[in-house]
Structure 1
Amino acid sequence: MSKDGTELREAIAGRLRMARESAGLSQGQVAKRLGMHRPTISEIEAGRRRVSAEEIATFGKLYGVDANWITEGSGDTTEGTDKIMLAARQLSKLKDKDLDKLLGLLQMLRGTEGSDDSE
């Protein structure tokens, strides 16, 4: 395989992993839903197995992302959006008192950022 082909496969693999994590799914859950074995999902996400156009479309539907984003990195989902979705999912798991503490910390940080701009 050419260097460009390897790089493309690795980029697709990384976006598939990111989309799966953002969807809050484990490799085992994805494998079960798609009728695959978990090691197959692992091989795909490691870039060691080719993914067909049909499989990319199926992954896109399962993860709620555009197939163009999976293959090209463009479309409805961006890395920033994925990070926000992942953060929101993690925040939803916090206890109320811990969430209140975190929100207070964020307010302090935002206040600190404002003072840096004036220097």
Structure 2
Amino acid sequence: MNNGSIGERLRKAREFLELKQEEAAEAVGVSRSALSLIENGRRKVDSEELARFAKVYGQSVDALAGTSPLPPLPESVKALARAATELSDSDRNELLRFAEFLQARGPKAGGHG
């Protein structure tokens, strides 16, 4: 048995990013009440949901599932998450789309060194 449930790990990851339950639920595509039940260990998370949580929270599925330790987030990621909480819903969605675009380019697209 791992230390802490998946729900607890998800809650800690969300709080670390300073996201409200409503914000995280919308980004993942679940209702706020479902997110609350998940974080309290009263609802299971399927693999697709866990993958979406991992993407939104910037963590690996393994880390959220408890099969590897949560790595510390870079300061720039923390700053971006804090800034995102100040944005409107539509601006946050646009930011997420841009982040997905950057991820789709691949890790070496930023330049050659």
- With structure 2 as the length reference, what TM-score do the two structures score? 0.57
Higher helix content, 1 or 2? 1
Partner of 1:58: 52
Give the distance between the partners of 1:35 and 1:54, measured in 2 at CA. 11
Which residue identity is paired with 2:57?
Y
Runs of 5+ consecutive residues of structure 1 not aligned to the other structure: 93-119
Correspondent of 1:20 among 14, 35, 47: 14
Q: How does 1:22-61 map to 2 (within 5 A)?
A: 22-61=16-55
Give the distance between the partners of 2:59 and 2:47, measured in 1 at CA. 14
Q: Between 60-69 and 33-42, report the one with greater CA deviation.
A: 33-42
Aligned length: 78
Question: What secondary structure, in the 3-state scheme, does the structure 2 residue paired with 1:50 have?
Answer: coil
What is the CA RMSD across the aligned residues, in angstroms? 2.6
Runs of 5+ consecutive residues of structure 2 not aligned to the other structure: 83-113
Give the distance between the partners of 1:21 and 1:30, measured in 2 at CA. 10
Partner of 2:5: 11
Shift of the alpha carbon at 1:22?
1.3
Larger Rg: 1
- With structure 1 as the length reference, what TM-score do the two structures score? 0.55
